[in-house]
Amino acid sequence: MELTTVWFIIIAGLWVGYFVLEGFDFGVGTLLRVIGRDEPERRAVITTIGPVWDGNEVWLIVAGGATFAAFPEWYATLFSGFYLPLFAILVALILRGVALEYRGKRDDLLWRGRMDTVITIGSVAPAFLWGITFANLVRGVPLDSSYEYVGSLGDLLSPFALLGGVAFTAVFVAHGAIFLALRTTGELRERANRFAARFGVVAAVLTVGFLLWALELRGDVASSVLAGVAACALVAGLVANRFRREGWAFAGTALAIGLAVTALFVAMFPAVMPSTLDPSSTLTTVDAASTPYTLKILTIIAAIFTPLVMLYQGWTYWVFRKRVTVEPVAVS
C-alpha cells in the first residue's frame, strides 16, 4: 500500500476519533440547559465531560497537523477556501474552553449563567459548521486548475451542506444525551434517557437522509455498506437506550458516528477536494501529498507516539468512569 493511501487512512481515523469523542462533548454542551434544570444539575452535567473534553480536542489538533505534514496542498486549499467557517469553529472552541474553565471561578449564578450560554453556543456552532465542511468535501467545491478555491461563502451553503450541518448537530446531541444517561444518576439520568429516546428518532432520520444524499453524489459499494451498517448501529443504540442499557446505547451511537464518517472518507477517496468546475481540477491524494521521504519519517513518528497517546487517553476514561451524582452547590 502506498504511503499516500496509508496517510489518508490515518487522517480519516483521526477524524473518526475526533467526532466520536468530541461529538458527545458537543452534545453535552448543547443539552446543558435542557437536561440540567438548576445549578446543581448543570454542575453535574459539566462534571461528566470535565476531565476529558480538552483531551478529546487533541484529536482535532493532530488531524490538522497530520494533514499539514502529509498533504500540504490539501491543507492549503481547505483552509483558504473554508477560511470563514473554520475560523468560526476555532473561535467557538476557544470560547467554549474558556467558559468551561472559568464557569466555577465565581460563586455567582449570573456569571455561571453567562458561561452556560457560551458553552451552549460553543457546542452547537462547531457541530453545525463541521457538518457543513464535510458535506462540501463530499459534494465538491469550485477549484481552478491551480487547486485554488474560486467560490464564495454562498457556495458552501448549499441545501446538501445545510442538511449536513443539521444532521451532524442532531446526531451529536443524541450521542451526548446517551452519554449523560450513562454517566449520571437519579432524575438527571432519567431525563437524559427520555430525551435520547425521543430526539434520537429525529437524529436517525436526519442522519440517514444525509447519508443517502451523500451516497447519491459520491457513493460506491464500500461506502454504501458502511453507511448501511452505521444506520443499523444507530438504530440499535436507540433501542438499547429504551431498555436502559446505556453502555450498549453509547457503543451503538459511537459506532454509528465512526462508520458514517468512515463512509464519507471512503466515498471521497482518492479525491480530497473534488472540483465542481472541472474534473481535471480535482485535488487527489497523490496531487496533495508530501514527498515520499517526508511520509516515511511521519509514519515512523506516528507508529511510536500514537499508541502512547491512545493508552494515556484510555487510562483517563478508565479513571473517571464512575457516574456523577447531583450534589447541592452553595452559591451567593
SS3 of residue 128 by DSSP: helix
In sequence order, the 6+-apart residues with CB closer than 8 A to the CB of 164 are: 131, 132, 134, 135, 136, 138, 210, 214
In terms of Cα–Cα distance, which of 62, 215, 60, 76 is closest to 127? Answer: 60
Q: Is the pTM of this model over 0.75?
A: yes
Per-residue confidence band for 248, with pLDDT thresholds at 50, 70 and 90: very high
User: pLDDT at position 330, please?
Assistant: 53
User: pLDDT at position 165, please?
Assistant: 96
Mean predicted confidence (pLDDT) in 243-265: 95
Residue 136's DSSP bridge partners are none
The percent of residues above 90 in pLDDT, for the chain, comes to 74
- The answer as to whether 178 is a domain residue is yes
User: pLDDT at position 26, please?
Assistant: 96
User: pLDDT at position 306, please?
Assistant: 85
Judge whether residue 262 has pLDDT over 50: yes
Per-residue confidence band for 329, with pLDDT thresholds at 50, 70 and 90: low
| Structural domain count, the chain | 1
User: pLDDT at position 238, please?
Assistant: 94
Mean predicted confidence (pLDDT) in 124-128: 96
- Which tens digits make up the pLDDT trace of 135-163? 999 999 999 888 888 888 888 999 999 99
Judge whether residue 332 has pLDDT over 70: no
User: pLDDT at position 280, please?
Assistant: 85
Higher pLDDT, 2 or 127: 127
User: pLDDT at position 28, please?
Assistant: 96
Start-to-end CA distance of the chain, whole Å, equals 62
Q: How many CB atoms lie within 10 A of CB 190?
A: 13
DSSP states of 210-248? HHHHHHHHH--HHHHHHHHHHHHHHHHHHHHHHTT-HHH
- The answer as to whether 69 is a domain residue is yes
User: pLDDT at position 104, please?
Assistant: 86
- The answer as to whether 46 is a domain residue is yes
Mean predicted confidence (pLDDT) in 237-249: 93
User: pLDDT at position 21, please?
Assistant: 94
Instruction: Identify the helix (H) or strand (E) that includes residue 273.
Output: strand 271-273
- The answer as to whether 72 is a domain residue is yes
- The answer as to whether 215 is a domain residue is no
Per-residue confidence band for 199, with pLDDT thresholds at 50, 70 and 90: very high
Cα–Cα distance, 267 to 316 (Å, whole number): 34
Per-residue confidence band for 71, with pLDDT thresholds at 50, 70 and 90: very high
Higher pLDDT, 326 or 292: 292
Mean pLDDT estimate for the chain: 92
Q: Which domain holds residue 112?
A: 3-204+269-319
- Which tens digits make up the pLDDT trace of 163-172? 999 999 999 9
Per-residue confidence band for 218, with pLDDT thresholds at 50, 70 and 90: confident
User: pLDDT at position 328, please?
Assistant: 66
- The answer as to whether 251 is a domain residue is no
- Which tens digits make up the pLDDT trace of 182-192? 999 999 999 99
Mean predicted confidence (pLDDT) in 289-297: 92
